[in-house]
Chains A and B, each alone.
Chain A
Amino acid sequence: MIVAEQKPLDEILSALGASERVLLVGCHGCVTVCAAGGEKETEQLARLLRVAGKTQGKKISVETVTIERQCDPEFIEPIAAQAHEHQAVLSLACGAGVQLMAERLGSIAVLPALNTLFLGVAEEKGTWVERCQACGDCKLHLTGGICPVTRCAKSLMNGPCGGSSAGHCELDPELACGWQLIIDRLEALGQLDQYEKILEPADWSRARHGGLRKVNREDLK
């Protein structure tokens, strides 16, 4: 899922500026799962904004609505009229959701309430960790199902570097060395001989370096 976290309240207030009628829009997608922008978080943020407004002597009127997905126009259209009754829309979706809302809602400002962080997994309750950088050229079949681009701090295709120490990355003793994980997994799979194959330079043109990416599926049109 896409993992995000809420921006500091001061930053949100500063982005809202003089807006007095604000619509907070939550999303039932990834940000609900990572407890950053679902219905519950949207209501919580609304309460905080009302209190902050009072403290600053402003009359902020805050309404809330949470839609299925902000990354899909069909769920945005039904709230367009409601949105236009406000001076600003504060979106609790990921960056993709914020942008599609802004495109679809046109003349109303859509502001982000979250910082979008990464594509990750829930390692345990309350802990999410990055797993994928969406590089567009998956090599997990060569590396024991562990991504060197994401898990190695230097994205080395032929690691580990000389800083791998007792299973940890030199950046942080709390952080596992991605290449130690890859080697352990290859060993468990009986594929350690794979290690000596030199992985060729990646084709980053399939990552964001090749420009805006698009998937066009004629069979679905």
Chain B
Amino acid sequence: MTKSMGKLEAVLSQGKFAVTAEAGPPRGARPEVMREKAALLKSQVDACNVTDNQTSMVRLCSLAGSALLLAEGIDPVMQMVCRDRNRIAAQSDMLGAAALGIRNLLCLSGDHQSFGDHAQAKNVYDIDSIQLLQIARQMRDEGKFAGGDEVDGRPQLFLGAAANPFADPFAIRVPRLAKKVAAGAQFIQTQCVFNVEKFAQWMQGVRDRGLDQKTHILAGITPIKSLGMARYMATKVAGMDIPEAVIARIKGVDKKLRKQEGIRLAIETAQQMKEIPGIHGVHIMAIEWEEAVSEIVAGAQLR
């Protein structure tokens, strides 16, 4: 295991505070976009997620995007959604990723296709994110495909999942995390935290069940770019919790200074996350704003 360990797993297993970020692949066959993002992020993070056709918009695939980051010396976290792949394709992509040296896999259900620009597409959902985790773990630890046959060369993948403490019903958000951990999630990246109080309440439940001892939880941080973005996330994105005070804070500063205020808020949140017992890192999702990552990392003294 040690031989194939990626940087993210190494950092977390040493008990260090991990920093991950996100690089969304381009909507075209331009590898230089990934290389440019890699250059901005390389010295800032322990690993970087490569999103998988997020919001159901067609983009360069996460496998190729991850390979491009790897070539630039970044430990990629390949995201894989169940929307577009059945269990055959999912397992095949895992083998391909592992063969190329990709060491982290984030298992997700995926945004519904009706949110994207191909709303008439047929979705797959042969399996869900929890079943995807189970299959990946079985291939790695037991050397068996979902169908039962033997895998000739086990994919050594560090397995992650997402958690959204702000979605409903709140009462099952800890049990749902427990299911993901039971299915094989070694690390968790959460939805963006704006409601710190509610997040802390969820973490209390996580600790009460000892789940923080069984998985590494990385808290999601997103810098707000504008008042419009804050309002959009507050009203249009289901499962996103942006308290009124956050919107008021962005609104309260001059238009030209709002980006800076968004970064300040992200820094403060990251610092608060460091203080919550059981949080092992942060996952910075600066959507198409990779430049913000270094400011947050430096400002919150994350590394």
Binary interface encoding of chain B residues 99-141 relative to chain A, with 1 for a CB under 8 A from any of its CBs, else 0:
0000000000110101000000001011111110011000000
Q: Is the CB of A162 within 8 A of B172?
A: no
A35 at the interface (CB under 8 A from B): no
Q: Which of B62-70, B148-156, B174-182, B244-252 contacts A (4 or more CB under 8 A)?
A: B174-182
| Contacts A166-B168, A196-B175; A161 near B134 (Cβ below 8 A) | no
| Contacts A156-B109, A164-B167; A201 near B182 (Cβ below 8 A) | no
- Report which of A165, A171, A201 forms a contact with B87, defined as CB distance below 8 A: A201
Q: Is the CB of B169 within 8 A of A183?
A: yes
- Report which of B129, B131, B169 forms a contact with A200, defined as CB distance below 8 A: B131
Most buried by A among B169, B175, B179, B183: B169
| Contacts A164-B167, A166-B168; A196 near B178 (Cβ below 8 A) | yes
Q: Which chain A residues (131-181) contact chain B, with CB distance < 8 Å? A: 153-171, 177, 180
Find the B residue at minimum CB distance from A169. Answer: B238
B299 at the interface (CB under 8 A from A): no
Residues of A within 8 Å of B123, CB to CB, are: 154
Find the A residue at minimum CB distance from B83. Answer: A154
Find the B residue at minimum CB distance from A180. Answer: B169
Q: Is the CB of B112 within 8 A of A154?
A: yes
Binary interface encoding of chain A residues 193-215 relative to chain B, with 1 for a CB under 8 A from any of its CBs, else 0:
00110111110100000000000
Q: Is the CB of B191 within 8 A of A195?
A: no
* A22 to B132 CA separation, bound complex (whole angstroms): 53
* A218 to B113 CA separation, bound complex (whole angstroms): 44
CB distance from A116 to the nearest CB of B (A): 17
B146 at the interface (CB under 8 A from A): yes
Residues of B within 8 Å of A168, CB to CB, are: 238
| Contacts A157-B128, A160-B167, A177-B168; A198 near B179 (Cβ below 8 A) | yes
Q: Is the CB of B238 within 8 A of A165?
A: yes
Interface size on B, residues (CB 8 A): 35
* A154 to B112 CA separation, bound complex (whole angstroms): 7
CB distance from B29 to the nearest CB of A (A): 29
Binary interface encoding of chain B residues 144-170 relative to chain A, with 1 for a CB under 8 A from any of its CBs, else 0:
001000000000000000111001110
* A162 to B112 CA separation, bound complex (whole angstroms): 11
Most buried by A among B163, B182, B239: B239
Q: Is the CB of B83 within 8 A of A170?
A: no
| Contacts A165-B238, A183-B172; A159 near B191 (Cβ below 8 A) | no
| Contacts A183-B172, A195-B175; A154 near B128 (Cβ below 8 A) | yes
* A153 to B162 CA separation, bound complex (whole angstroms): 19
* A129 to B71 CA separation, bound complex (whole angstroms): 51
Binary interface encoding of chain B residues 57-90 relative to chain A, with 1 for a CB under 8 A from any of its CBs, else 0:
0000000000000000000000000110001000
* A64 to B65 CA separation, bound complex (whole angstroms): 61
Q: Is the CB of A163 within 8 A of B238?
A: yes
Find the B residue at minimum CB distance from A186. Answer: B172
Q: Is the CB of A164 within 8 A of B238?
A: yes
* A195 to B179 CA separation, bound complex (whole angstroms): 9
* A168 to B182 CA separation, bound complex (whole angstroms): 27
Q: Is the CB of B169 within 8 A of A164?
A: yes
Q: Which chain B residues (171-202) contact chain A, with CB distance < 8 Å? A: 171-172, 175-176, 178-179, 182-183, 191
Residues of A within 8 Å of B191, CB to CB, are: 162
Find the B residue at minimum CB distance from A166. Answer: B168
* A161 to B110 CA separation, bound complex (whole angstroms): 9
CB distance from A72 to the nearest CB of B (A): 31
* A96 to B152 CA separation, bound complex (whole angstroms): 46
CB distance from A12 to the nearest CB of B (A): 23
B residues near A, CB below 8 A?
82-83, 87, 109-110, 112, 114, 123, 125-131, 134-135, 146, 162-164, 167-169, 171-172, 175-176, 178-179, 182-183, 191, 238-239
Can you list 21 A-B pairs, Cβ within 8 angstroms, ordered by A?
Answer: A153-B112, A156-B125, A159-B128, A160-B172, A160-B176, A164-B167, A164-B238, A164-B239, A165-B168, A165-B238, A166-B168, A169-B238, A177-B168, A183-B172, A195-B172, A195-B175, A198-B134, A198-B179, A198-B182, A199-B131, A202-B126
